[in-house]
Each structure stands twice: as structure tokens, then as C-alpha cells.
Amino acid sequence: MTAPVPTQPRRLAYLGNPAIAVAPLLALHEASDRLGMEIVVVATAKDRRRSRRGQPTPTPVGAAAADLGLPVVHDLDAVVASGADLGVIVAYGRIIPLSVLDFLPMLNLHFSLLPRWRGAAPVERAILAGDAETGVCLMDVAEELDTGVVRCRVATPVGSDESADELRKRLAGLGSTLLVDALAAGIGEGEPQVGEPTWAHKIGREDLRLDWSRSSDELHRVVRVGGAHTTFQGEPFKVWQATPCGSPGAGAGAGELVGDVVAVGSEYGSTSGEGGGIRLVEVQPANRPRMAFDAWAAGARPTTGEVLGT
């Protein structure tokens, strides 16, 4: 049985890795005097190389903790030994063993409206599914992934043109406020999750492939996630920004490039039931930086009727 969450914790352990977990750490540190709480340890992954020739560098959370002068550790044994009476997890990326939870209760800031999108990639999956709303939950860490009771939550609309990076930053801000307010008010009773769970499996390369037979709305959502890819003249070609639009012309087949518009939806149709188009705004050809479509086209000089993805 996991240790009970204290109503008024005083010594916090913080566990996280990526950039989305930095804002809640900063918010807790800034509010620590007001809350009467101390961050006694920050657990994050070990330093690693971010490029082939680069030196090992800390995670975003590790770097932020060092800047704040907080102790940084890389294993859960050190967290248990820290004397913390509550752990706060934000995108830590590891399953917490029951043997740890027996000694140290933990709360997790999860970026979805549970039980929808349990798992590793809730922000990306919400966008890919076309969800109109998402949010943040503060929940107990339980033995099974993302199944704990929810202490509090906040919902927010998903912008129709909002990228995953933009949504992550906004959710991090909302989650920071939710977390600090919950600690300030005293941890109340949680509520069991209600509804059919869905699973936010990790995003793979196939999830980001631009299948031009899909609708313009679906393809736009793939681009918004980041890293959407296809090919041009057999070489890798990424699309970083694009907008849905009408068909570039009668008879244009899926993947056919006409000016700055790619014809789409010939197999499944757009949401209107007809073929449509995707207007390319920012692209990245093989071995080149990201650039405006017009700048790329001026050099590459694609011919009308060339097909992407072949």
C-alpha cells in the first residue's frame, strides 16, 4: 500500500526531465517561502550528449535546478533518503516502483484530462485526435500508470492552429498555477477517474509521416505536432508549418504540388467530403535548415505536378 499524501507537506522532492517540467519547478521555488515548503532534492536523468560531438549536458530540469542552487540527484534511492515528505512528478518518464511509493507519497502533474490520454504523449495525441479540449490533472501516483485519484484539474480549449510546442508551454503554465494553488490550499481529497481510458502511446516516425491521401484537417494536425515528414525527389523533406486550403485544381492527385499547395484527400476526402489542399508555409529539405517555402522554392524550382512522398 502506498504511503498517504500529507495534507500539509513541508519537504518536497521534485522529479522531472524535459522543458515542460521547468515552469512548475520554478513556480514551486518562487512560492516556497509563501507555502512554508522547501525543495530538498531534484531528481532528473543523467547528463548526456545532445549531439554526436557535443559534451554531455544536463536535462532542462537539471540545468534549472542547478541555477537555483538545488541539490540534483539521478536515482530514486537518493530521493527516498532526502527526507522529503512528498514527491512532485512532472514528465519524469519513469515508472515509480511500489517500494518507493511505500516510503514516499507522490503527486503527478499530468497534461491531459484523465482518464483520456494516459501515458507518454498526451499533448501530441490530443492534437492528432482533433480534441477540442485538453487540460492538466494533479493526481496521486499509483502502482499502475496514470490511474491514481485526481486531486484537482483545469481544462482549456485546444487552438485550431496551436502547435504541440505552443500547447505544451501553455499547459505548463496552467499546471504550475494548479500545483501551487493546490499546495497552498492544503491537499484535499481526490476523486477516482471516471470514463473510458485512452492511451497516449509514444509518438513514432510513422505517426508523423504525411500521407497525402488523408484529409487536409488530419494532415494539418500532423504538422502541428512537429517533425512531419515526406519526400521530395526521393530525399527527406519536412513540413514545419502549413495551413489547410482548397484544392489546387481539378484533377490534381494526392501529393501533387501546384505552386505552394499540395493536393490531398483523393482517397478519403476532406471533412467536406471533397479533396482539398495543404498550403506549405515552412519546410526543411534534406541537410538544410528550416526555411520559408518561398525561399526553398526559389532555389529548388519544383515543377508543377511533381508529387511529394514518392
Residue 3 inside a domain? The answer is no
Residue 296 inside a domain? The answer is yes
* Residue 66 Cα distances to 4, 22, 55, 207, 280, angstroms: 30, 12, 17, 36, 41
pLDDT of 305 higher than 80: yes
pLDDT digits (tens, 9 = 90+) for 104-122: 999 999 999 999 999 999 9
Q: Coil, helix or strand for 237? A: strand
Residue 309 inside a domain? The answer is no
pLDDT digits (tens, 9 = 90+) for 84-101: 999 999 999 999 999 999
pLDDT digits (tens, 9 = 90+) for 195-249: 999 999 999 999 999 999 999 999 999 999 999 999 999 999 999 999 999 988 8
> Which pLDDT score is estimated for 2?
82
Query: 279 pairs with which residues across the strands?
Result: 243, 261
The tally of domains found in the chain comes to 2
Residue 47 inside a domain? The answer is yes
The answer on 219 and 112 residing in a single domain is no
> Which pLDDT score is estimated for 1?
67
Q: Enumerate residues 6+ apart whose C-beta is below 8 A from 180.
A: 27, 28, 31, 35
The answer on 262 and 145 residing in a single domain is no
Q: How confident is the model at residue 62 (pLDDT cuts 50, 70, 90)?
A: very high
Cα(168)–Cα(20) distance, rounded to whole angstroms?
A: 6
Cα(168)–Cα(165) distance, rounded to whole angstroms?
A: 5
Residue 255 inside a domain? The answer is yes
Cβ-based neighbour number of residue 83 at 10 Å = 12
The answer on 150 and 39 residing in a single domain is yes
Average pLDDT of the chain is 94
- Please give the residue that has the higher pLDDT: either 85 or 266: 85
Domain that holds residue 148: 11-200
pLDDT of 160 higher than 80: yes
Cβ-based neighbour number of residue 51 at 10 Å = 7
pLDDT of 30 higher than 60: yes
Q: Domain boundary residue among 153, 169, 200?
A: 200
Residue 121 inside a domain? The answer is yes
> Which pLDDT score is estimated for 55?
84
Q: Domain boundary residue among 200, 230, 254?
A: 200
In one letter, which amino acid is 259? Answer: G
Residue 310 inside a domain? The answer is no
The answer on 155 and 81 residing in a single domain is yes
pLDDT of 59 higher than 90: yes
> Which pLDDT score is estimated for 27?
98
Q: How confident is the model at residue 274 (pLDDT cuts 50, 70, 90)?
A: low
Residues 127, 221: contact at Cβ < 8 Å? yes
> Which pLDDT score is estimated for 269?
41
Mean pLDDT of 264-271: 56
In one letter, which amino acid is 251? Answer: G
Q: Domain boundary residue among 170, 200, 230?
A: 200
The answer on 38 and 117 residing in a single domain is yes
**The residue to which cell 542552487 is assigned:** 69
Nearest Cα to 188, choosing from 150, 240, 241? 150
Cα(262)–Cα(237) distance, rounded to whole angstroms?
A: 13
Q: How confident is the model at residue 272 (pLDDT cuts 50, 70, 90)?
A: very low
CATH of the domain at 280: 3.10.25.10
Q: Enumerate residues 6+ apart whose C-beta is below 8 A from 3.
A: 101, 102, 103, 104, 105
pTM: 0.93
* Residue 73 Cα distances to 13, 29, 100, 278, angstroms: 10, 17, 15, 47
Residue 184 inside a domain? The answer is yes
The answer on 211 and 168 residing in a single domain is no
Cα(286)–Cα(298) distance, rounded to whole angstroms?
A: 16
The answer on 55 and 150 residing in a single domain is yes
The answer on 244 and 192 residing in a single domain is no
The answer on 264 and 168 residing in a single domain is no
Mean pLDDT of 28-36: 97
The answer on 168 and 191 residing in a single domain is yes
In one letter, which amino acid is 31? Answer: A
> Which pLDDT score is estimated for 275?
67
CATH of the domain at 21: 3.40.50.170
The answer on 228 and 177 residing in a single domain is no
Nearest Cα to 107, choosing from 130, 84, 128? 84
The answer on 195 and 215 residing in a single domain is no
Nearest Cα to 278, choosing from 308, 231, 306, 243? 243
Residue 196: Cβ-neighbour burial (10 angstroms; 0-12, 13-18, 19+) = exposed
